């Protein structure tokens, strides 16, 4: 029972984690909120004497059409690469690996895991080479074999390209998570359904997916947060271009904070992104009523 | 129990989201330069007390020559009874990333004692209080009178003070492939106007089949879109970008619209390699591949192109360079062609240095005689002063001496506080043109809006 000593014990166990969260998460967030209320810059006279400007930075963001456009691009990037691509392909891969008589499972699983092991920079450079615009780019060589002219992928299809690359990179995480969840589903349920004449699709829809609900919600939560924050992959490949075609929120924030050196405005954009993603996260938890 | 789990889930969500989102706003410089600067002795310098200076360098060619020069500086100081050591910190980075790193170092208060970068950063750094005021030291230095007037003007900021010493000088012009133009029967005579240049490029494009001319543009080229491209177009309009009388940037004018219109014409006529310009490293497929290959015939370029880019030890050597490449002055909108004299690299000393006299002595020494000759020849710069033309190896590079002779007659623009914002706005507006999303007039309007947002309405004016 939860007596005083028991509560003290719980507090003792939680204390290190809470302390780390306070120092490395909560304090920087509070710092960012504080900076967002100033005109802090890194160059010029405002760097020498930053002033409190209230909600001016938020007003500027709300009046900036590019801010909304960046949010929409982030939304599209998250939806198509994480919620659709990684989720569907990761789940398919996990279901395939869960089949008992499948041969070459180790090789298949290993191949899917590889992109997760490769450092982000290396992955970006590898894809930059694969998508190189001239005929020597790997993808252009492949389509060249079929008689197609070379395509400058990162310029003709920039957002689509980084979505595909992010899917490639993120399938492994979804697969691992769903594979672990599938192993927790008793085989007897599937066998009983087979005896009752349920088709494979019915088993998936009526038994497997409902039992995976908790894992799916957890995956959606984690991947939404992580994908909103993707920066290195996009920066290395397109730097947000061409034009602003791949300027998602993380790039928008980076440009304002570290290219324009407008730390106040960049912080305000970070805080707004935090708020939006926080709301999305809470909606996941609340609407699906999942237990994590 | 269920409620407590929900709260736990919410707390977890908040923590995860916060961790993901807060990283973009907190500068955390942790560089070798920072560590080097932090480890410098904190004691006040005395004549014979040992002093260690840190010098940060980010370009390999410049670093290589510094490695040879710094021991000579230490020996020269020792001969004067001064025990000064220089810790050369290398952080080889692309220019744009170096500027971000350098700015963060200064902001965090742990920059190297001495460093150098493009002169366009000096006004913003000086106004932020990052740089040591060198005015009294520089004006008391007899050699200062040997620096060309245009260079002395470039080092003097709006407050009348001097916060930097020139590391070199250069002129910018249009470099063209004589062999390519002759092959296609295009005149190599100096173009007299934008219209003249464009008509020749249209004819060349029809024969070559590839975009023949490069004026840097777009966001990927960083500050270079302004420094190596737009500025030289704008100077050809005769317009005013900064109003010295009011101390404000001019963000809307006919001259600006015309300059963006020039880019739009080049784009619409298929004369600019717009696809390459949208590459994350746009100088690679253009200056380092297409120009050496002769599939790009004309490009803006500074004096350093003869060495740093296309020289025998450059990034993309062109065999028999001087027989294949020649220069035109920049054609003006209408009127006299001109050579540009941009603000070149500057030596800067941190305002927080513990050894200001020794740091100034280092910059001074590097700006003198043999040391300067070696330093500028390494990257292909002209001399910012008039008295080293007979010092080898500079004396052996006639093309650099020829460029030096143009310093006094070229057109120049003196960057002011906020120049970095203008660079950003020009990059974005030209990006909108080359990506085909805006006309010249629309890009000019975008420039007006963006520059006003970045600089603040009280720091801009419209003409």
Query: Which residues are CB-contacts of B172 (< 8 A; sequence separation ≥ 6)?
Result: B228, B232, B300, B301, B302, B303, B330, B339, B340, B341, B342
Q: For residue A239, list chain B residues with Cβ-Cβ distance below 8 A.
A: 219-220, 280
**Cβ-based neighbour number of residue A48 at 10 Å:** 12
pLDDT of residue A217: 87
Domain tally, chain B: 2
Name the nearest CA neighbour of A88 among A184, A170, A198, A183: A170
Cβ of B124 within 8 Å of Cβ of A274? The answer is no
Tell me the sheet residues that pair with B327. Answer: B175
Do the Cβ atoms of B411 and B340 come closer than 8 Å?
yes
**Which residue, among B387, B353, B392, has the nearest Cα to B367 in the 3D structure?**
B387
pLDDT tens per residue across span B91-148: 998 888 899 999 999 999 999 999 999 999 999 999 999 999 999 999 999 999 999 9
- Mention every residue, 6+ apart, whose C-beta is less than 8 A from residue A84: none
Q: Are residues B316 and B362 in the same domain?
A: no
Q: What is the three-state SS of B305-323?
A: HHCCCCCCCCCCCCCCHHH
Q: Is pLDDT of A101 > 80? A: no
Q: How far apart are CA A18 and CA A25, in angstroms?
A: 10
The confidence score (pLDDT) of residue A4 equals: 76
Residue of A nearest to B418 (CA): A44
What ipTM did this prediction achieve? 0.79
CA distances from B425 to A108, A268, B18, B48, B408 (A): 49, 21, 31, 50, 30
CB B195 within 8 A of CB B271: no
Contact yes or no for B26 and A285 at CB 8 A: no
User: What backbone torsions phi and psi does residue B177 show, to the nearest 5 degrees?
Assistant: -85, 105
Q: Is residue A193 part of a domain?
A: yes
What would you report as the CA-atom Rg of chain A, rounded to the nearest whole angstrom?
23
Q: Single out the residue of A215, A206, A207, A212 nearest to residue A188, CA to CA.
A: A207
pLDDT tens-digit series, residues A243-280: 788 999 999 999 899 888 999 999 999 999 999 999 99
Taken as a whole, chain B contains a residue count of 463
* Inside any domain, residue B31: no
The per-residue pLDDT for B152 is 95
Residue with the two structure tokens 């059409």: A65
pLDDT number for residue B385: 97
Distance from CA of B48 to the nearest CA of A (A): 35
Q: How far apart are CA B442 and CA B424, in angstroms?
A: 16
Residues B386, B314, single domain; the answer is no
Decide if B166 contacts B154 (C-beta within 8 A). yes
Count the Cβ atoms, other than its own, within 10 Å of residue B319: 9
Is B347 found in the same domain as B235? no
**pLDDT at residue B262 in the model:** 98
Sign for the CA dihedral angle at B122, B123, B124, B128 comes to: positive
pLDDT of residue B347: 97
Contacts of B280 in chain A (CB under 8 A): 128, 236-239, 241
Largest CA distance in chain B: 87
Q: Please check whether residues B162 and B133 belong to one and the same domain.
A: yes
Cβ(B362)–Cβ(B86) below 8 Å: yes
Q: Between chains, do A24 and B421 touch, taking CB under 8 Å as contact?
A: no
- Report CB contact under 8 Å: A32, B127: no
pLDDT of residue B48: 63
A226-249 residue pLDDT tens: 999 999 999 989 888 887 889 999
Q: Per residue, what are the HEC states of B3-56?
A: HHHHHHHHHHHHHHHHHHHHHHHCCCCCCHHHHHHHCCCCCCCCCCCCEEEEEE
Examine residue A261 and state whether it is found in any structural domain, yes or no: yes
Let me know whether B182 and B135 are in one domain: no
* Residue pLDDT tens, chain B, 463 long: 444 444 444 444 444 444 444 433 333 333 333 333 333 333 344 456 799 999 999 999 899 999 999 999 999 999 999 999 999 999 998 888 899 999 999 999 999 999 999 999 999 999 999 999 999 999 999 999 999 999 999 999 989 999 999 999 999 999 999 999 999 999 999 999 999 999 999 999 999 999 999 999 998 898 899 999 999 999 999 999 999 999 999 999 999 999 999 999 999 999 999 989 988 789 989 999 999 999 999 999 999 999 889 999 888 999 999 999 999 999 999 879 999 999 999 999 999 999 999 999 999 999 999 999 999 999 999 999 999 999 999 999 999 999 999 999 999 999 999 998 999 999 999 999 998 989 999 999 999 999 998 888 999 999 8
In a domain, A167, yes or no: yes
Residue with tokens 């490639």: A168
Place A147 in a pLDDT band, splitting at 50, 70 and 90. confident
Do B211 and B360 lie in one domain? The reply is no
Domain membership of residue A137 (yes or no) is no
Residue B36 forms part of a structural domain:
no
- Per-residue pLDDT at B11: 43
Task: Say if A173 falls within a structural domain.
Answer: yes
pLDDT value of residue B34: 34
Residue A12 counted as domain residue? no
Which chain B residues are Cβ-neighbours of A135 within 8 angstroms? none
For the stretch A38-77, pLDDT in tens is 999 999 888 888 899 999 999 999 988 889 999 999 999 9
Give the gyration radius of chain B's Cα atoms. Answer: 24
pLDDT at B95: 85
Top residue of B21, B26, B285 to mutate, by most chain A CBs within 10 Å, is: B21
Domain boundary residue, one of B363, B381, B405: B405
Name the residue range of residue B72's domain: 45-166+343-405
Distance (Å, whole) CA B384 – CA B346 = 11
> Domain containing A197: what range?
68-124+158-288
Judged by CB atoms closer than 8 Å, whether chains meet at A250 and B418 is answered as no
Residues B374 and B434 in one domain: no
Residue A291 binned pLDDT confidence (cut-offs 50, 70, 90): low
Total structural domains in chain A?
1
CA distance B24 to B324: 47
Q: Which residues of A touch B20 (CB under 8 A)?
A: 225-226, 228-229, 277
Residue B17 domain-assigned? no
The answer to whether residues B309 and B213 belong to one domain is yes
Same domain, B303 and B434: yes
Residue matched to tokens 């710092």: A31
Q: What is the distance in angstroms between the Cα of A221 and the nearest Cα belonging to chain B?
A: 8
CB contact under 8 A, B100 and A259: yes
- DSSP structure string for B133-151: --HHHHHT-GGGGGB-HHH
Task: Supply the CATH number for residue B394's domain.
Answer: 3.40.190.10
CATH number at residue A208: 1.10.3720.10
pLDDT of residue A263: 93
Q: Is residue A151 included in any domain, yes or no?
A: no
Query: Based on the domain organization, do B162 and B244 belong to the same domain?
Result: no
CA distance A165 to chain B (A): 17
> Which of chain B's residues have a Cβ under 8 Å away from the Cβ of A269?
24
The answer to whether position B54 is within a domain reads: yes
Give the percent of chain A with pLDDT over 90. 42
């Amino acid at each position: 029972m939860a007596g005083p000593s028991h509560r003290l014990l719980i507090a003792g166990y939680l204390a290190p984690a809470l302390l780390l969260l306070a120092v490395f998460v909560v304090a920087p967030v509070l710092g960012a909120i504080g900076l967002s209320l100033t005109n802090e810059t890194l160059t010029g006279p405002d760097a020498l004497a930053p002033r409190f400007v209230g909600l001016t930075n938020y007003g500027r963001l709300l009046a900036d059409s590019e801010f909304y456009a960046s949010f929409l691009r982030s939304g599209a990037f998250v939806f198509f690469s994480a919620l659709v691509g990684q989720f569907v392909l990761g789940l398919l891969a996990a279901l395939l690996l869960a089949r008992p008589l499948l041969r070459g499972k180790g090789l298949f699983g290993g191949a899917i895991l590889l992109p997760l092991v490769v450092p982000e920079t290396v992955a970006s450079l590898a894809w930059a080479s694969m998508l190189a615009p001239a005929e020597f780019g790997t993808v252009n060589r492949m389509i060249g074999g079929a008689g197609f002219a070379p395509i400058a992928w990162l310029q003709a299809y920039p957002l689509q390209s980084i979505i595909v690359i992010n899917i490639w990179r993120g399938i492994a995480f979804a697969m691992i998570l769903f594979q672990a969840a599938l192993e927790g589903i008793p085989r007897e349920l599937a066998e009983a359904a087979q005896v009752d004449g349920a088709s494979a699709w019915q088993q998936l829809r009526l038994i497997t997916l409902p039992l995976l609900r908790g894992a799916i919600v957890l995956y959606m939560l984690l991947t939404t947060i992580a994908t909103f924050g993707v920066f290195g992959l996009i920066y290395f490949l397109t730097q947000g271009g061409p034009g602003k075609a791949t300027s998602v929120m993380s790039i928008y924030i980076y440009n304002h904070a570290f290219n324009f050196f407008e730390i106040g405005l960049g912080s305000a954009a970070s805080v707004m992104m935090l708020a939006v993603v926080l709301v999305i996260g809470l909606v996941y938890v609340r609407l699906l009523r999942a237990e994590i | 129990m269920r409620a407590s789990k929900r709260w736990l889930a919410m707390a977890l969500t908040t923590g995860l989201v916060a961790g993901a989102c807060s990283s973009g706003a907190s500068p955390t410089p942790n560089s070798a330069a920072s560590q080097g600067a932090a480890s410098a002795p904190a004691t006040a310098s005395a004549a014979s007390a040992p002093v260690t200076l840190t010098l940060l360098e980010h370009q390999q060619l410049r670093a290589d020559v510094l490695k040879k020069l710094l021991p000579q500086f230490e020996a020269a100081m020792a001969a004067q009874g001064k025990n000064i050591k220089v810790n050369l910190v290398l952080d080889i980075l692309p220019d744009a990333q170096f500027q971000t790193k350098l700015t963060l170092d200064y902001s965090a208060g742990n920059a190297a004692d001495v460093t150098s970068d493009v002169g366009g950063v000096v006004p913003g750094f000086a106004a932020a209080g990052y740089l040591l005021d060198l005015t009294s030291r520089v004006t008391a230095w007899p050699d200062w009178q040997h620096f060309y007037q245009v260079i002395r003007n470039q080092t003097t900021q709006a407050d009348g003070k001097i916060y930097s010493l020139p590391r070199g000088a250069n002129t910018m012009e249009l470099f063209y492939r004589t062999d390519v133009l002759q092959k296609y029967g295009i005149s190599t005579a100096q173009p007299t106007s934008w219209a003249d240049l464009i008509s020749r490029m249209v004819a060349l494009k029809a024969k070559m089949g590839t975009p023949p001319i490069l004026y840097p543009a777009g966001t990927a080229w960083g500050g270079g879109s302004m420094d190596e491209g737009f500025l030289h177009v704008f100077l050809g309009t005769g317009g005013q970008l900064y109003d010295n009388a009011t101390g404000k940037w001019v963000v809307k004018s006919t001259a600006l619209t015309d300059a963006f219109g020039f880019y739009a014409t080049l784009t619409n006529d298929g004369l600019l390699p717009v696809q390459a310009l949208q590459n994350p490293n746009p100088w690679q497929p253009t200056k380092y591949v297409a120009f050496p290959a002769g599939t790009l015939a004309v490009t803006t370029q500074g004096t350093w192109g003869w060495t740093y880019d296309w020289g025998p030890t450059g990034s993309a050597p062109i065999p028999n360079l001087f027989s294949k490449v020649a220069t035109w002055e920049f054609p003006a909108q209408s009127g006299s062609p001109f050579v540009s004299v941009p603000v070149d690299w500057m030596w800067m000393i941190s305002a927080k240095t513990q050894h200001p006299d020794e740091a100034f002595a280092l910059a001074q020494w590097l700006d003198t005689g043999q040391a300067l000759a070696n330093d500028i020849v390494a990257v292909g710069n002209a001399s910012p002063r008039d008295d080293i033309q007979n010092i080898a190896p500079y004396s052996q590079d006639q093309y650099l001496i020829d460029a030096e002779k143009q310093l006094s007659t070229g057109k120049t623009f003196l960057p002011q506080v906020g120049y970095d914002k203008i660079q950003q706005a020009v990059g974005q507006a030209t990006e909108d043109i080359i990506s085909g999303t805006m006309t010249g007039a629309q890009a000019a309007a975008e420039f007006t809006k963006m520059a006003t947002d970045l600089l603040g309405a009280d720091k801009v004016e419209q003409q």
